[in-house]
Copies of this chain bind each other. A is one copy, B any other.
Amino acid sequence: MSHHRSDVVEHALEVLDRHGLADLSMRRLAADLGVQPSALYWHFANKQALLAAVADEVLRRGRRPVTAGTWDEQVTAEARALRDAMLAYRDGAELVATALAFGLATEDPVARLVDLIGDIPAARVAATTIMHFVLGHVGDEQMNAQAASAGAIVDDPLTRADTFSTGLGIVVAGIAARRTADR
């Protein structure tokens, strides 16, 4: 029986979550779908395009409506939603980071952050700074989680949530300083 693009993405998400990004190969995914590797190339031009579609789906599923509040509350909420979206799938941060870096994602979380930060000249730089922070922090979190599950280190989720808040607070405070300076 035949598959859609969306079936492939759905299956890729499962392989990702169960085995990690390193094991998400075209050949393994094809085997998982009961299909030849070459069949995937009817749906996607190449592996990067497939991964971009998967990253988009991760971001789409994590999207939250904009909350009421001041700009900094909104930016903070958006950053937390992005963190949750990426934490929901194994290696989510690395996946999203590469998709964004290659410019293949259609979801654009940076654009949403730019809107929330508001009309200052540095809005774009500020938004990508937030995004870099979130990607970097969650990337570290997921690395540590993996090391911990391998028994290499002890991992405290409470501490991780705490450092995220503190780091995010630092960046948001920096943007606040910019905003008052720029008007």
Contact = CB atoms under 8 A, between A and B. Distances in A.
Interface of A: 101-103, 122, 124-126, 128-129, 131-133, 135-137, 139-140, 143, 147, 163, 166-167, 169-175, 177-178
5 contacts: A101-B139, A128-B140, A132-B135, A170-B171, A170-B177
Task: From A122, A128, A132, A143, name the one whose CB has the most chain B CB atoms within 10 angstroms.
Answer: A132
Nearest to A174: B174
Given A169-B174, A174-B171, A131 B136 contact: yes
Contacts of A166: 122, 125
Contacts of A177: 170, 173-174, 177
A178 B125 CA distance: 21
A174 B131 CA distance: 16
**Which are the 9 A-B pairs with shortest beta-carbon distances?**
A132-B136, A174-B174, A170-B174, A173-B174, A173-B177, A129-B167, A125-B166, A125-B163, A125-B167
Contact of A175 (B126, B129, B163, B170): B170
